[in-house]
Amino acid sequence: MKTKNVKISLDCKTNHISKGRKFPLLLRVACNGKHIYINIGKSIEEKFYDKQNKEIKKEVKGASSYIDYVERHKVKISEIISDFERNGQVINLQKIRETYLFQLGKIDSVSFYEYVKETIDKEKELSLLKEKTLYNYERNMVILNEYCPTLSIHDIDKTFLEKYESHLLHKLKMSRNSKFHAMCFIRKYTLRLFKDGKIKNYPFSSYIVGSPELGEPLYLELEELNKLHDLYESGELLKIVRNSKSKFTKYKTFPLGEKYQEVLKYYLASCYCGLRHSDIKTLKTSEIKGAHIVKIMKKGRKGQLKEVKIPIRKRFESLLQRKSENGFAFGVKVKECSQTNKYLKDIAKIAGIEKELTFHSARHTFAVVSLRLVIPIDVISNVLGHSELETTQRYARVVASYKNEQMNKWDKIAGDAHITEIEVSCPNCTLSVMKFAKDVLKLKKIPCKCQNCNEDFVYCIAS
């Protein structure tokens, strides 16, 4: 029997004969040069089987029941293949066998979701997953389940991954980075399946996830940072109250401004030291040692420990509590990141800042403002706790872009709409240092300093 490019034939392995001179009935399913054997659940006596022609001998009495049995199971497998073709699924031999056995009730289909859930439970027990990572995995599991509620471990192939990627980008309107993390989630557990020998083919060997896009980091300009600090020191936020909407509550008003003031306090602190939300949340008074914060932080997927020493300067000092009843550096319990971000959006509106602030923007603000203040990039990298200087260079590009914008003001002097720009790059690290319009500067030699690698060099303008 042949269904398009799939051939189904009887092919018993007579070397697997039992003591009663019987061997199992097997169907050989072949497709694109590959094949599998499916045991259809019955044994046959040696006298009924023609080994040379691989068929049941019709002339032997009682052979018709075996012939009918084999044909019925050939039809079952053909119907499974036809269903795959109607649904636009790529023919997968392992998937055919699994579906066939599942329909007969001989095995349960190996669900990708069940496998992932069991694996994640083990990872949680061993503390291998961070809280944020676990949240993202659970969210990606929900999105995947909505797209394909019944997903077998054999369903994940290149075609499935390409269709799911299209679904994320075009139907769900996901950003490239969100799509990247969704596909990485599938890749992680598919690789484990492959290494554990549960699947024979690794689909990500032909499907490339790619890399995340590094967009422009959201940060505050120094003027905006000063505006927020002035708002905090003025205490104006403390005057904000919200009327209670419930008639059952004991209090008619809710001091919302106190919450705003608390959130702004530790957000500003992060702007002045570059600590992440998770590190601000756990910052204790015992980690304030003299003129420094000395904190042990977990880095990377393996949770390696790294000690970071952060100098405390005036503004940062004004926000810290060296002694508190609960032992934490801000005297209050730092709210979860999602709740903090909601308050920050309100605070930005009150301050007249037209940016969708998130807590992580504080870390970006520290890096960019530090570079603008001409603090060496290796010092900033050390305070941020970056393992590689290249990670911090992302912010150097932001500062270089700012310089270019400012240099464009020379165009107005020239008054020419078609100005040829000259770009000056660092001879050491090749980062763009500045741009200026041709024939605007009278100097023949321009002394330059690279903000990225601190290289001093002289740029000579060709005559």
Same domain, 46 and 128: no
Measured CA to CA, the distance from residue 83 to residue 89 in angstroms comes to: 8
Which residue type sits at 104?
L
| Predicted TM-score of the model (pTM) | 0.55
The pLDDT assigned to 296 comes to: 86
Same domain, 248 and 297: yes
Same domain, 76 and 131: no
Same domain, 124 and 176: yes
Q: Is the pLDDT of residue 413 over 70?
A: no
How does strand 253-254 pair with strand 242-243? antiparallel
Q: Is the pLDDT of residue 288 over 70?
A: yes
Same domain, 242 and 359: yes
CA neighbor of 424 nearest in space, from 398, 393, 445: 445
The pLDDT assigned to 268 comes to: 96
Q: Which residues contact 457 (CB under 8 A, 6 or more apart)?
A: 426, 427, 428, 448, 449, 450
Whether 396 is covered by a domain: the verdict is: no
Measured CA to CA, the distance from residue 432 to residue 426 in angstroms comes to: 6
CB 203 within 8 A of CB 162: no
User: What's the average model confidence in pLDDT over 105-119?
Assistant: 78
Q: Is the pLDDT of residue 450 over 80?
A: no
User: What's the average model confidence in pLDDT over 377-402?
Assistant: 81
For the chain, the first-to-last Cα distance in angstroms comes to 82
Alpha-carbon dihedral 409, 413, 417, 423, rounded to 10 degrees: -50
Sign of CA dihedral 284, 289, 293, 298: negative
Whether 240 is covered by a domain: the verdict is: yes
| Model confidence band, residue 406 (pLDDT cutoffs 50, 70, 90) | low
The pLDDT assigned to 410 comes to: 63
Same domain, 93 and 129: no
The pLDDT assigned to 405 comes to: 64
Q: Is the pLDDT of residue 295 over 80?
A: yes
Measured CA to CA, the distance from residue 156 to residue 147 in angstroms comes to: 13
Number of domains observed in the structure of the chain: 4
Read off the CATH number of the domain in which 122 is found. Answer: 1.10.150.130
The pLDDT assigned to 342 comes to: 93
Whether 273 is covered by a domain: the verdict is: yes
Same domain, 172 and 263: no
Say which residue, 145 or 99, is predicted with more confidence.
145
Exposed, middle or buried: residue 405 (CB in 10 Å: 0-12, 13-18, 19+)?
exposed
User: What's the average model confidence in pLDDT over 347-363?
Assistant: 93
User: What's the average model confidence in pLDDT over 86-95?
Assistant: 75
| Model confidence band, residue 127 (pLDDT cutoffs 50, 70, 90) | confident
The pLDDT assigned to 270 comes to: 95
User: What's the average model confidence in pLDDT over 294-319?
Assistant: 82
The mean of the pLDDT values for the chain is 84
CA neighbor of 281 nearest in space, from 272, 270, 292, 294: 270
Same domain, 256 and 349: yes
Whether 324 is covered by a domain: the verdict is: yes
User: What's the average model confidence in pLDDT over 345-359?
Assistant: 93
CA neighbor of 77 nearest in space, from 102, 48, 53, 44: 102
Greatest extent of the chain over all pairs of C-alpha atoms, in Å: 108
Whether 216 is covered by a domain: the verdict is: no
Say which residue, 282 or 250, is predicted with more confidence.
282
User: What's the average model confidence in pLDDT over 46-69?
Assistant: 88
3-state SS, residue 239: helix
Domain stops at, among 85, 103, 121: 103
Domain stops at, among 54, 74, 103: 103
Measured CA to CA, the distance from residue 38 to residue 331 in angstroms comes to: 67
> Which domain covers residue 326, as residue numbers?
222-373
Whether 214 is covered by a domain: the verdict is: no
User: What's the average model confidence in pLDDT over 334-341?
Assistant: 90
Domain stops at, among 327, 352, 373: 373
Whether 298 is covered by a domain: the verdict is: yes
Q: Is the pLDDT of residue 182 over 70?
A: yes
The pLDDT assigned to 152 comes to: 85
Q: Is the pLDDT of residue 248 over 70?
A: no
Same domain, 236 and 366: yes
CA neighbor of 130 nearest in space, from 389, 384, 337, 335: 337
The pLDDT assigned to 141 comes to: 93
Read off the CATH number of the domain in which 252 is found. Answer: 1.10.443.10
3-state SS, residue 133: helix
Looking from the CA of 433 toward its CB, the CA atoms found within 13 Å total 21
Highest mean pLDDT among 150-154, 220-224, 451-455: 220-224
Q: Is the pLDDT of residue 460 over 90?
A: no
Could you read off the pLDDT of 261-272 as tens digits, one per residue? 999 999 999 999
Measured CA to CA, the distance from residue 184 to residue 137 in angstroms comes to: 10
Q: Is the pLDDT of residue 2 over 80?
A: no
Same domain, 340 and 247: yes
Whether 434 is covered by a domain: the verdict is: yes
Same domain, 166 and 283: no
Same domain, 95 and 53: yes
